């Protein structure tokens, strides 16, 4: 809902300073508690609307067919030909209408109501939030339940069977299971699997739009998913409430993407993000290609023909973290991959990845993942 001011309302009329210029007009006092309308009005001459008591809304249809809502808290003059109607806002409304011409009625297909906004997407109950890391032999026998389930694959590939149909979720993809949909999940048997699962209940408009299909998580979705994982891990004040908000935002973002036929050509992961700058995109590629080498800011800047200070500032602006922090996290993700392969000892991984000692590697790993490399290896074995 918009407020009425000189800028917002200029396409439809103006704020009225007084009623003197309408002294010769017909005055009609309306006392209205009707809360629904499927018609709009317009007049061949200017109309003055003066609120008397209660709270009202002016619905106005613009020339492109969009209906806008304004809070009727002051007197307004409405231009000739502008289509509008006035409804009470959850209470009885009294207002005067000053007119010099007859009211003309236009039926509309829209149903206009003077009530508060009721969300189309409404997450009512949050049941579980689980970030799971499984070995390559992971297999879940399947289940069905009377609420929604969302799964996002952060690493590896997951095979899902939904009501007899098979889907393969690759890294960076997600799927929504509708209530009472029987679904089976398992690893593809080639690599360890990391994924987020959230179960919840609520109202979703057009649920068939998202259920039973694989969906890429674009950068907007990925930021929301990362927020859910962070809230689940940190468990701060009102974390569950924040996760409910994030799930709602994720659902809206996914529905917008699917209904607009958005095509995601690049699969973002937890760290390897897609940015709108060619220098930073190239910088990220260089980091991932040389992650087992010693990478310094001057060396990176030289590869890109940029000054170190400019590259550092631009990277932080586009990626949201410093180059050194990004490299640290990429190295640790690579360490997790190597542990999952099961071909190297922790000491060997430390040496390959350029850590000064296995002890330092363990300290960094535990700082980031809240478990030691050995504990992680045991968990996914």
As a 3-state breakdown, the chain gives helix, strand, coil percent values, each rounded to 5, of: 30, 30, 35
Residue 276's pLDDT band, with cuts at 50, 70 and 90, is: low
Instruction: Output the CA angle 290-292-297, nearest 5 degrees.
Output: 55
* Section 178-195 average pLDDT: 92
What's the burial of 34, exposed, middle or buried (CB within 10 Å: 0-12/13-18/19+)?
exposed
Domains of the chain in sequence order: 13-113 (2.60.120.10), 122-259 (2.60.120.280), 278-380 (1.10.10.60)
Check residue 130 and give its pLDDT. 93
Q: How many CB atoms lie within 10 A of CB 63?
A: 9
Q: Which two tokens stand for residue 51?
A: 């609120």
331, 291 Cβ separation under 8 angstroms: yes
* Section 179-189 average pLDDT: 93
198, 129 Cβ separation under 8 angstroms: yes
In DSSP terms, 87 is beta-bridged to 57
Which residues, in sequence order, are CB contacts of 169 under 8 Å at separation 6+?
151, 153, 157, 158, 159, 160, 175, 214
Sole residue written with tokens 């859910």: 228
pLDDT digits (tens, 9 = 90+) for 203-218: 887 888 888 788 888 8
More confident residue, 194 or 272: 194
Lowest mean pLDDT among 141-150, 240-249, 311-320: 311-320
Signed CA dihedral, 275, 276, 279, 281: sign only: positive
Alpha-carbon distance 68 to 72, whole Å? 12
Residue 270's pLDDT band, with cuts at 50, 70 and 90, is: very low
Check residue 140 and give its pLDDT. 92
Which residues, in sequence order, are CB contacts of 174 under 8 Å at separation 6+?
150, 151, 152, 153, 214, 215, 216, 217, 221, 225, 254
Check residue 258 and give its pLDDT. 80
Check residue 71 and give its pLDDT. 93
pTM: 0.57
């Amino acid at each position: 809902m918009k407020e009425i001011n000189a800028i917002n309302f200029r396409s439809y009329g103006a704020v009225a300073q007084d009623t003197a210029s309408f002294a010769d007009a017909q005055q009609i006092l309306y006392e209205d508690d009707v809360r629904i309308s499927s018609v709009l009005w317009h007049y061949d001459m200017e109309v003055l609307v003066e609120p008397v008591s209660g709270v009202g809304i002016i619905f106005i249809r613009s020339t492109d067919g969009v209906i806008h809502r304004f809070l009727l808290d002051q007197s307004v003059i409405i231009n000739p030909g502008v289509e509008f109607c006035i409804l009470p806002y959850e209470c009885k409304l009294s207002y005067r209408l000053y007119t010099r011409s007859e009211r003309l009625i236009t039926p509309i297909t829209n149903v206009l109501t003077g009530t508060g906004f009721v969300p189309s997407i409404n997450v009512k109950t949050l049941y579980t939030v689980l970030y799971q890391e499984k070995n390559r032999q992971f297999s879940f026998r399947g289940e069905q339940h009377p609420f929604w389930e969302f799964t996002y694959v952060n690493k590896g590939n997951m095979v899902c069977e939904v009501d007899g149909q098979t889907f393969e979720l690759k890294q960076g993809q997600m799927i929504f299971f509708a209530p009472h949909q029987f679904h089976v999940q398992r690893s593809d048997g080639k690599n360890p699997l990391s994924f987020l699962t959230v179960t919840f209940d609520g109202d979703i408009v057009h649920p068939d739009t998202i259920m039973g299909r694989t969906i890429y998580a674009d950068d907007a979705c990925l930021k929301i998913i990362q927020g859910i994982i962070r809230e689940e891990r940190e468990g701060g004040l009102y974390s569950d409430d924040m996760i409910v908000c994030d799930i709602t935002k994720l659902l809206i973002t996914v529905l917008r993407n699917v209904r607009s036929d958005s095509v995601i050509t690049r699969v973002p992961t937890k760290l390897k993000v897609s940015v709108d700058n060619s220098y930073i995109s190239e910088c990220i590629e260089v980091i991932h290609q040389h992650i087992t080498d010693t990478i310094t800011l001057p060396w990176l800047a030289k590869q890109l023909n940029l000054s170190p200070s400019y590259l550092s500032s631009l990277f932080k602006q586009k990626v949201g973290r410093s180059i050194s922090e990004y490299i640290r996290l990429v190295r640790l993700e690579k360490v997790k991959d190597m542990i999952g392969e099961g071909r190297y000892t922790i000491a060997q991984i430390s040496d390959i990845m350029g850590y000064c000692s296995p002890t330092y590697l363990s300290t960094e790993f535990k700082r980031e993942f809240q478990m030691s490399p050995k504990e992680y290896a045991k968990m996914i074995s």
